[in-house]
A = this chain, B = another copy of it.
Amino acid sequence: MARPKAQTAALMASPDDTEAQFYEALQRGDLERLMAVWADDDEVVCVHPGGPRVVGLVAIRASFEALFGNGGVPVRPEGVRRLHTLGCAVHHLAERVSVVTNEGPRTAWALATNVYVKTTQGWRMVAHHASPGTLGEPPPATGEAPSTLH
Contacts and interface: CB of A to CB of B under 8 A. Distances in A.
Interface in A102-146: 111, 113, 115, 117, 126-127, 129-132, 139-145
A130 to B, nearest CB: 8
B131 A117 contact: no
Interface stretch (A10-18, A21-29, A36-44): A36-44
Given A131-B129, A143-B55, A113 B43 contact: no
Chain A contact surface mostly: strand
A53 B139 contact: yes
A52 interface: yes
A99 interface: no
Given A92-B127, A127-B90, A111 B53 contact: yes
8 contacts: A43-B83, A47-B111, A53-B94, A54-B141, A55-B141, A55-B144, A56-B143, A63-B142
